Structures are given as structure tokens and as C-alpha cells.
């Protein structure tokens, strides 16, 4: 019997997955969680064989849970189930050594098969994503450019960045400008977006 914990904030999908997994003879859903913290608690409490983690959840993301599980050397296998094919997410998932990364665009049967596969110790990846890994670009940004972009990401204005990093107004804008050009976009918002997508900041 494969014991599974499901963490997914959208009730309809969570309920549907649970109902369908229960129909499988070899799978048992031991707990459901609607947010990251609840998911963590459930995994600690039930020590399931496999956990399905959505990435974008309240209080703790699925990726954070995966990292923490790795840190405490918990043996629960992790399958990330997400809408997003962002290279940044995928990279973080690989760094956290997750056992599977599936898109919600896959059919349920694929998920069920994936649960059995990871239980056997195999790794599972949505087909589209294998290509995404090869297409991954290298980070063209310097340390300083990333610093500035990171602060800009938090919604800081140029002036606030200036006083945080002890630079002049012009210098900060200069880093942003070169980041914008290197990322081949035209505004700082787009630069933040792209850098975030690729897991560079």
C-alpha cells in the first residue's frame, strides 16, 4: 500500500485527486492539506511514502517543503505538481532533489503511474520539461546587477535601493539598465520577471 499526502490549495482539484486515488487498490491517501504548513505537519505526522506538492500555496511553497524535507533527511518521496513550466521552478526542484515534477496538464493516469514509479525509486518528469532543461540559458547578470534586481523585485524604488546598497542614484539605474539589456527586455519590470522565471534572483 502506497501511503500518500496531497497538498494542493484548490479544493476542487484536491478533492478530485483524492477521490480518484482512492479508487486505486494500491494507493491510500492518508492526509490532505490546503496550505504549506498543514502539508508539512501532515508529512511529519504520517510519514507517507509519497507526497504530492503544489508549488504556489499559502504559508509555504511546495518547493520550500521539498528543500526542508531534504535538510531533515526525511525519506518521503516528493512529487511537485504544478501549472508552471518555469525553468526557475524546475531548477529549484532539481536542487531540492525532488523525485517527480509534473504539470497539471498531464492526465490523471500519468500522475497515478508517477506515484508508483517514484515509490520504486524512479524519477519522473513531464515530457515537455525535459526539453526545457536543455533550453536553459546561462545567467548573464553580475552579482551587483542581481543585487539591484532583487531589491527592485521587492518593490523598492530606485531611491530606496540607493540607500540600501550605499550607491549613487545613477549607478543603480546603470545596473538596472545593463540588466535590462542583457535580458533583452525594455523595462525593469520585465527584467525582474525574466530573471525570476529563470531562477536567477
Partner DNA sequence: AGTTTTTTATGACAGGTGTCATAAAAAAAA
Partner DNA sequence: TTTTTTTTATGACACCTGTCATAAAAAACT
Find the angle CA(193)-CA(198)-CA(103) to the nearest 5 degrees: 100
Distances in whole angstroms, Cα of residue 183 to Cα of each of 91, 139, 140, 189:
18, 9, 8, 11
Considering only the stretches 51-59, 71-79, 105-113, 151-159, report the one whose residues sit in contact with DNA under the rule CB under 7 A. Answer: 151-159
**Binding status of residue 155 toward its own copies by CB under 8 A:** no
Stretch of residues binding DNA (CB under 7 A), selected from 13-21, 115-123, 157-165, 193-201:
157-165
Which among 23, 25, 22, 44 is positioned nearest to 33, based on CA atoms?
44
Interacting partner of 97 out of its own copies, DNA, none (Cβ under 5 to 8 A depending on kind): none
Binding residue for DNA, selected from 78, 79, 167, 201, defined by CB under 7 A:
167
Q: What is the pairing mode between strands 100-103 and 77-82? A: parallel
Window 94-133: contact mask with DNA (x via CB under 7 A): ----------------------------------------
Name the one range near DNA by CB under 7 A: 17-25, 31-39, 99-107, 174-182.
174-182
Residues 83-102 that bind its own copies (CB under 8 A): 83
Residue from 70, 104, 173, 196 that binds DNA (CB under 7 A)?
A: 173
Q: How many residues bind DNA (CB under 7 A)?
A: 23
DSSP, collapsed to helix, strand or coil, labels residue 79 as: strand
Beta bridge partners of 77: 50
Q: Looking at residues 103 to 132 of the shown chain, list those that interact with its own copies (rule: CB under 8 A).
A: 104-108, 111
For residue 131, give the C-alpha cell.
526539453
Q: From the CB of 23, what's the least distance to its own copies, in Å? A: 8
Q: How far apart are CA 95 and CA 195, in angstroms?
A: 18
State the Cα–Cα distance between residues 27 and 144, nearest whole angstrom.
49
Among 3, 10, 86, 185, binds its own copies (CB under 8 A): 10
Cβ atoms of 150 and 201 closer than 8 Å: yes
Amino acid at each position: 500500500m502506497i501511503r500518500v499526502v496531497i497538498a494542493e490549495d484548490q479544493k476542487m482539484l484536491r478533492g478530485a485527486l483524492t477521490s480518484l486515488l482512492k479508487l486505486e487498490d494500491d494507493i491510500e491517501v492518508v492526509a490532505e492539506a490546503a496550505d504549506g504548513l498543514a502539508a508539512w505537519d501532515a508529512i511529519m505526522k504520517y510519514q507517507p511514502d509519497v507526497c504530492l506538492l503544489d508549488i504556489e500555496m499559502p504559508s509555504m511553497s511546495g518547493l520550500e517543503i521539498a528543500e526542508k524535507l531534504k535538510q531533515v533527511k526525511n525519506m518521503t518521496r516528493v512529487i511537485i505538481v504544478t501549472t508552471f513550466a518555469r525553468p526557475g521552478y524546475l531548477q529549484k526542484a532539481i536542487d531540492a532533489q525532488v523525485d517527480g515534477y509534473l504539470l497539471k496538464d498531464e492526465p490523471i493516469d500519468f500522475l497515478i503511474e508517477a506515484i508508483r514509479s517514484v515509490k520504486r525509486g524512479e524519477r519522473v518528469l513531464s515530457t515537455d520539461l525535459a526539453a526545457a532543461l536543455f533550453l536553459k540559458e546561462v545567467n548573464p547578470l553580475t552579482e551587483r546587477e542581481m543585487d539591484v534586481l532583487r531589491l527592485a523585485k521587492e518593490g523598492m524604488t530606485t531611491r530606496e535601493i540607493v540607500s540600501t546598497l550605499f550607491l549613487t542614484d545613477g549607478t543603480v539605474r546603470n545596473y538596472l539598465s545593463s540588466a535590462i539589456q542583457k535580458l533583452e527586455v525594455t523595462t525593469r519590470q520585465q527584467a525582474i520577471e525574466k530573471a525570476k522565471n529563470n531562477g536567477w534572483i
